[in-house]
Amino acid sequence: MTEIHLYTDGGNRNTGNVAGGSVRPTDKSAWAALLLYGDHQKMLSGGELGRTNNYMEIMAVIQGLSAIKRTDIPVTVFSDSAYVINTMQQKWYVKWRQNHWVKGGQPVKNAALWQQLLAQVDRFDQLTFQKVKGHATNKHNNEVDAALNRTMDQL
């Protein structure tokens, strides 16, 4: 393998029990990132209470990219998060930056995290983002999902 593959996932166990229900401060949230390079692999995971699924999806990418020391090797980030993939592939962040992290008169959600992610992205010579289907047949996506669920179980 001549590139690094980074599989990421984030999750939240929202006890609001209503569609669109707010995340409660006691809800378990976690992220996981799997780094693959040649025969090497490394699983990272972390969690905290009261964070949204989207927050954890972004955090997984930040943590995964932060763990990569060699920035000259091409990296592909695989995520099942349309929020992350669309933001990066369609470059929504360009307008957010131009508008001082305001969208439609409101602050961009997770602006500080997006800024952290962009700082990581800027480190790499070649970085691409690819959408994968969640909870399906992608082995590595299922592995990061299982890892973040183990982390939530331990919270």
Is 2.60.40.1180 the CATH number for 4-154? no
The Cα 46–Cα 118 span in angstroms is: 20
φ, ψ (nearest 5 deg) of residue 98: -60, -35
Mean pLDDT confidence for 121-135: 93
Helices (H), the chain: 53-66, 82-89, 92-98, 111-121, 139-154
DSSP 8-state symbol, 133: -
Question: What percentage of residues in the chain have a pLDDT greater than 70?
Answer: 95
Q: In sequence order, what DSSP letters do the residues of 12-45 get, joined into one string?
A: E--TT-STTPPPPTT-EEEEEEEEEETTEEEEEE
- pTM for this model (two decimals): 0.93
Q: Where are the domains of the chain?
A: 4-154
Region 21-44 average pLDDT? 93
